[in-house]
Structure 1
Amino acid sequence: MTKFQPRRPRAARLRTAVAVTAALLPAGLVALPGTAQAAVSLTCTTTGPTYALDSAGKLLRLDMPTPATGGNLPAGSTIDTGWTGYGRILAGPSAAFYGIKSDGLYYSHRISSSATWDVHHKKISDGFTGFRTGTAADDITIDRSGYIWTLDSNGGIRWNHYNPTANAMDAGSGKIIDMGWNRYDAIYAGDKGVIYGRSATDHKLYRSRYDLTSHRWLERHVLESSADWSDTKSMASYGGDTLVRVKGNGSVVYYRFDETIRDWPVYNKTVAASGYAAYTSVTAAPDACRIPEHTPAVVKQDFEGGTPTVAMQGSSGKLEFAYTDAIGHLVHGRSDPADITSIQWTTISGNEGFSGAPSLSQHSDGRVVVTAQNVTGALWQRNQAAVSSADWGGWIDLSGHMAQHAITAKTPSGLMVQFASDADGKPWYRIQQRANVDFMGWMPLGGSGFTGPFTAVTVRDGIQLFGKNAGGVLQTAQFKEAGTLSAWTALGNQAVTGTPSVVVYPGYRLRVVANDGNGKVLMTAQSDEGGAFGAWNPLGDAAHDPNNPGTPVDPLVAQGSPTAVLSPTTGLLEVVVRATDGTLYNTGETTQGSGTWRSWQKLGTDVAATDPTAFTYTGPSGMTWAYVFRNANNQNIVYQLSTQ
């Protein structure tokens, strides 16, 4: 339900364990700084199945002894015939094979115990034909868990995962999870989510690692070999950060990287002197070896009561609201600004449970986006089916394994970006690949020790982020669309509680309003764009009850987080906050930008069970502002600025 009252707010992821030791750093490599560590825990099968396809369509198997250290490859034995037409084959885990023909991608599966095929040349996709031959054959690879990674001409990297039981690609297949990979002219998987890229300019080798469970890029574009890798006809892996490289002269060399010591225990070891140049495709079982996965722990969330209702006006003109309640419902509301009293509320969570304040945003095409944290710990997103539609698309799992709820902001060009912090208080972000499409993977940002959700506003050159450290001191940094982040700087040494409210003034000057934890509402401001923030100063003086003029009222003791908005009608900064008794109070500047404040004034007798949220919008009479909160009966109450 919504209660509306016009009021003037001013007044108111069978193996043999292999012990691995460190080796000297090969010439031409760059080691990352850090203290010495034990070698990575590596497990491998006794042999590493290697497969080669000849020009007559015979598929050969060659079992490398000791795949953890690289044994000499033996002569091959034919395990099948009739593989003509394939320009590129990829051995997958558990004796699965993927082959690319001119008309698409084919799947085969061999039962090793009986040496028979239960699936033979089954077409599973019309796509992937561009990776069949030529230089683009280096732009496709497969990892230990069967994820097929591809690099497109625009620099986007994607994964696809085929489910033979369902005879379909898994959900999430084909989505771009990062851009900027056109810096490479070849990619090679080394383990689950481990992708090596060969530089397109100097042919050095870089390593990245993506956790497919949490959708996090654990590392990106780390230089691991400064040697020239251009003499590579093809390269495959047994998993476990191994690489089997076929050179142009037909020799085969073996490598293994150790991510713990950031070194190559085995480097450039010849395992076949010649003979491989004639094969049309060489691949290896990517699950013969494995290294540990680094999936972060899930941070389950408690149900939260008393979280605020969030609000915005979409480009369609409709007012959009969302909140979660104490038992985990996620509720969305929509109204026409001409009749704000008729908010249509819909529970969009089904039987799922959500926690904390949701985030509202919209695609460039105007579709509304709701993001909230499931109590399982994953971040979920739902898109409006079409502009102004009452229907919603299915839930999109953004995962993250974040400890804090995500907030959504927009870059100056209009791309949505989400920010959240992990269990260690480290900030992460994920950004849309382009307008009106899904988000790419989570990527780390600098900084640590943050508590509570971030606050973000769009500024001239990026997004200004605000976050609290363990001591409650606010810090700020500027994020840019390219993924860079400026250094974090503190807004003085003043500790605050709750969530600050940030207002962007003309000229991209910022004002920040927050609760000092003792009930005082404080503000700090920039005098110039990008400049330092000044001292924190209290807002308002005495508190007054308009129903009892002249009667002394104790100084305002604020509870929770204040909300602030720049009034579009007066240009004055207006602030609304909840007092300890649940009633709401308002103050504002006496004149524009003065920093001089009216006395706190009580806004009626309603008792709020949540912090208020102020928002601006355009109605039939022009631009105005309002605020929304919920009472103990979970009833949303909206107060609108009177234009009379």
Structure 2
Amino acid sequence: MSANRSRTRHTRQRWTAAAVGAISLLTALPATARAGESTPGPAAQTGRAAEAAACGTSGRTYVTNASGELLQYTMPTPLTGSTFSAYVKVGAGWGSYGKVLAGPDGDFFAFKSDGTYYAHRADNGTWDVSPKRISTYLGWLGNAADHGQATVDRSGRLWVADNLGQLYGYQYDPKLGTGGGLSSIGIVDNDWDRYNLITAGDTGVLYGRAADGRLYRSRYDVASQRWIERHVLIGAAAWGNFTSITAGGGDTLVAVRTNGEALYYRYDELTDTWPVVAKPVAAGGWHTFGNVTSRPDNCRLLTNHTPPKPPPLPMDHPAATVTQSTSGYLDILQSFSGHIAHVRVDPVTFSNPRWTRLDEPRGVSGRPAVVKQSDGRISVFAQGVHGSVFQRDQVAKDSPGWEAWNDLAGAMAHPPVVAKLPASGLAVQYAVDVNGKPWHRVQIKPDAGFLGWKPLAGPALDGPLTTVDEQGGIRLFGRKTDGTLATALFSAAGTMSPWVSLGSQQIVGLPAVITLPGTGYRVVARDLDGRVVTTRQTAIGGAYEPWSAIPNTATTGATPPAPVAPLSASSSPTAVFTGQTPGPEIVVRGNDGHLYRTAGTSATTWSPWVRFGPKSEEPRGNAIGDPRAFTYSAELSDTWGVVHRDDLGRTHISRPTTGTGWTSTPIS
């Protein structure tokens, strides 16, 4: 379990009980942030069948009275709601706990100042586990002011919203014994101090009541670590007139009015309606109970909301990722044949490279993403062949040791990219799912873990995203399903700008995007015919010019150069701007196994393509996969190079020399 968080109190609005009439109508207003939809709500749900829910023959709700007794009330038909039967006393001594929560399968969780307690009531009505302390944490939930900040869902997960607005998930395994059985699944979201009460409507389904009395619903899928929906408004302000609200699974709720009457509700997420509304189930007196808690498995939703995993992804030869450490060494992360390797090499001599295998046992696909944490450590993000995103961190800055892989789930169809927000320095992951929907997850704080995956608005995309740092945030480029490019800005505040099309040019693979001083972005890509095409902004923030093809005239790297067959590109291009030429340096792999390089001689003209690479060297090997150009510093000067692989299993670093010459060093 994670370390105990300090409880810094801050002012929060809390509801005030007032005598009102029974709620006869709950306004289901348009939702906000349901599965990434921009304008979801009842109109978008027209014609869809009601959500199928199932309940047991009876539903149980437990209360604690002023004498500290635990009482059980039973409802005969929890799907439609019916009057509770007379109570049965099932326990004593529960008055010492400020907060009591019923869990599934006879579990109970209770909280008082010295920690968290667990008990279990067997099916035969006996207590086979009397209340025992399982953790010294979370005792603050026993405070009267904090009663509404915890709930247990149908799967038995404990959800806690602290006063900093952070939403934690916990799981208890009684087989692990006292203390060790309560483990944290981490902070999955923030901004939950918007609510003064939360309760779990089903597995991962969380209701939250705001200070203005409105009721919202969210769904977090633990398997994929995705927020399927988040803060969807489902109830009008009259929900503030209840002293307590508890859920019994299947989107059923028991709500207690200030006059002590208990009312019953059931919500349907697909029709955005309430099939059961304000049905009286107890006449009065319930407002005197210290705790009212329904078993979260009285009912259940039958639809599985876990997103499907993508089909197995190819284990190919994507471009490497290169960074330079503060100590000067080049850190190269490369994925090949389902493996990831980290190599550290001296940028002056390129001798004695240090290789470390970072294999994820199930295999990886696509280019690894790398971010440098604020403490100097490198974090590597890789796409598993079955859609999960994995993260692995260096043990310490410049260390050859690595922590274990951390499964970040996602069920994504394309590898993630990672960038850091300006000012805050928080890392953000971006990835695309099987339906082309872009998602993101933000770091909790520098050098820490990540919140859950959240959807982004935008067009359906086909392929990984490309990111570029921008003063106001992170610039995203994505290939749409029609093959054209679009771009949007993810701001430092976490909001998305509208996506803007870059025109009708269709491309394949990943674009290369670089920033040109004073003018904006230059985008380079490969089209369907193997041509290298490009567009640019003529002013920062301005429109993009029409796409144009870079001439495919090619030569050898010999002196004097000799003409060769026109270039036909078979990889995504890679580009850097060094300032040594008016335009960018561009490298691409040709369909003949050579690498080719061109440079912009003006805003609209280009030098002939010059070939280089492993096929020009002994022993000869064909270049494979996507090359990666990068800039770096060596011996107090800035220069650039290219990392690439050949079909002999070697990794090379090639650097330009005088004129059109190149030198290449195998590092494996």
TM over 0.5: yes
Counterpart of 1:98 in structure 2: which amino acid? Answer: F
In structure 1, which of residues 121, 126, 130 is the aligned counterpart of residue 136 of structure 2?
126
What is the aligned partner in structure 2 of residue 5 from structure 1?
A: none
Q: Which residue of 2 aligns with 1:220?
A: 230
Quickly say closer, same or farther: Cα 1:253–1:47, change in 2 above 3 A: same
- Looking at structure 1, the residues matched to 640 and 382 of structure 2 have their Cα atoms a distance apart, in angstroms, of 25
* Distance across 2 between alignment mates of 1:559 and 1:132: 64
> What is the aligned partner in structure 2 of residue 7 from structure 1?
none
Q: One-letter code of the match for 1:51?
A: Y
From the superposition, tell whether residues 172 and 104 of structure 1 become closer, same or farther in structure 2 (CA, over 3 Å): closer
Which stretch shifts more, 503-512 or 148-157? 503-512
User: Alignment partner of 2:514: what SS?
Assistant: strand
Matched, 1:51 2:86: no
RMSD: 2.1
The counterpart of 2:532, out of the listed 521, 545, 548, is 521
TM-score (norm 1): 0.92
1:559 positional shift: 1.3
Equivalent residue number for residue 17 of structure 1: none
| 1:309 shift after superposition | 2.0
> Which residue among 103, 127, 144 is the counterpart of 2:154?
144
Q: Classify the secondary structure of the residue corresponding to 1:84.
A: helix
Q: Which residue of 1 aligns with 2:15?
A: none
Q: Which of these residues, 212, 227, 246, is aligned with residue 256 of structure 2?
A: 246
Question: Are 1:614 and 2:607 counterparts?
Answer: no
Residue equivalent to 1:590: 601
Residue aligning to 1:539: 550
More deviation in 78-87 or 24-33? Answer: 24-33
The 5-angstrom pairing of residues 216-365 of structure 1 reads 216-291=226-301, 292-326=303-337, 328-349=338-359, 351-365=361-375
Aligned partner of 1:560 among 571, 579, 586: 571
Give the SS at the match of 1:105.
strand
Aligned partners of 2:519, 2:417: CA distance in 1, in Å?
20
- String of CA shifts for 1:275-315, please: whole Å, max 9, x gaps: 11222111110011111230011114234232222212244
Q: Closer, same or farther in 2 for the Cα pair 1:319/1:25, shift >3 Å?
A: farther
Matched, 1:379 2:389: yes
User: Is the counterpart of residue 402 in structure 1 residue 401 in structure 2?
Assistant: no
Query: Cα deviation per residue 1:600-621 (whole Å; 9 max; x = unaligned)?
Result: 1122515311221011122232
Once the two structures are TM-superposed, the CA of residue 220 in structure 1 deviates from its matched residue by: 0.8
1:58-137 equivalence runs, <5 A: 58-113=69-124, 115-137=125-147
Task: Give unmatched runs, 5+ long, in structure 1.
Answer: 1-23
User: 1:470 Cα deviation (Å)?
Assistant: 2.3
CA 569–119 in structure 1, closer or farther in 2 if over 3 Å, else same: farther
Structure 2: distance between partners of 1:240 and 1:73: 18
Which digits, 9 at most, give the CA deviation of each residue in 1:212-238, with x for residues without a partner?
Answer: 111110111111011322222222111
C-alpha distance in 2, partners of 1:252/1:464? 52
Task: Within 5 Å, give how 1:147-226 maps onto structure 2.
Answer: 147-167=157-177, 173=184, 175-200=186-211, 202-226=212-236
- For residues 559 and 261 of structure 2, the distance between their equivalents in structure 1, rounded to whole angstroms, comes to 93
Aligned-pair distance for 1:468?
Answer: 1.1
SS in 2 for 1:479: strand
Name the CA shift for 1:170/1:489 in 2 (closer, same or farther; >3 Å).
farther
Taking the aligned partners of 1:71 and 1:212, their CA distance within structure 2 comes to: 32
Q: Alpha-carbon deviation of 1:391?
A: 1.1
CA distance in 1, matches of 2:142, 2:120: 20
Contact kept? 1:254, 1:271, Cα under 8 Å:
yes
Question: Aligned pairs, how many?
Answer: 616
- Pick the aligned partner of 2:523 from 506, 512, 516: 512
Contact kept in structure 1, 2:28 and 2:272, CA below 8 Å: no
Q: CA deviation at 1:543?
A: 1.1
Q: Which amino acid aligns with 1:160?
A: Y
1:422: which partner in 2?
433
- Please tell me whether residue 627 in structure 1 is matched to residue 653 in structure 2: no
CA distance in 2, matches of 1:199, 1:249: 21
Query: Over residues 451-491 of structure 1, what are the superposed CA-to-partner deviations in whole Å (9 max), with x where a residue is unaligned?
Result: 11111111111111111122211111111244322222221
SS of the counterpart of 1:346?
strand
**Equivalence for 2:491:** 480
Between the aligned residues of both structures, percent identity stands at 41
Once the two structures are TM-superposed, the CA of residue 397 in structure 1 deviates from its matched residue by 0.8
Q: Quick check: 1:541–1:597 contact (8 Å CA) kept in 2?
A: no
User: Which is further off, 253-262 or 170-179?
Assistant: 170-179
The answer to whether the Cα contact below 8 Å between 1:558 and 1:578 also exists between their aligned partners in 2 is yes
Q: Distance in 1 between matches of 2:626 and 2:149?
A: 52
Q: Do the aligned partners of 1:191 and 1:240 also contact (CA within 8 Å) in 2? A: yes
**Counterpart of 1:120 in 2: which secondary structure?**
strand
Bigger drift between 90-99 and 241-250 goes to 241-250
Q: 1:238-285: CA deviations, max 9, x gaps?
A: 101111112232221111110010011112222112111222111110
Deviation at 1:507, TM superposition (A): 4.6
**What do residues 164-212 of structure 1 show as CA deviations (whole Å, max 9, x unaligned)?**
1123677972521112222222212111111111112x22111111111
Amino acid of the residue matched to residue 207 of structure 1?
Answer: R
Distance in 1, Cα, partners of 2:277 & 2:645: 64
Question: How far off is 1:640 after superposition?
Answer: 2.8
Distance 1:36 1:602 in 2: 60
- Please state how far the C-alpha of 1:423 moved relative to its aligned partner: 1.0
In 1: Cα distance, 2:118 partner to 2:331 partner:
47
Q: Is the 8 A contact 2:420 2:426 kept in 1?
A: yes
Q: Describe the superposition over 1:76-113 as per-residue Cα deviations: whole angstroms up to 9, x where unpaired.
A: 11112222310000000100000001100001111112
Distance (whole Å) between structure 2 residues aligned to residue 170 and residue 618 of structure 1? 50
In the superposition, the TM-score normalised over structure 2's length comes to 0.88
The question of whether the paired residues in 1 share the 8 Å contact of 2:394 and 2:400 is answered with yes
- Deviation of 1:134 after TM superposition, in Å, equals 2.2
Instruction: Give SS of 1:430's match.
Output: strand
Structure number with greater CO (CA < 8 Å, separation at least 6) is 1
| Structure-2 separation of matches of 1:102 and 1:171 | 17
Alignment-mate amino acid for residue 557 of structure 1: S
The aligned residue for residue 602 of structure 1 is 611
Q: 1:97 is paired with a residue of what secondary structure?
A: strand
Q: Distance in 2 between matches of 1:25 and 1:537?
A: 64
Answer yes or no: is the 8 Å Cα contact 1:358–1:370 preserved in 2: yes
Asked if structure 1 preserves the Cα contact closer than 8 Å seen for 2:172 and 2:183, the reply is no
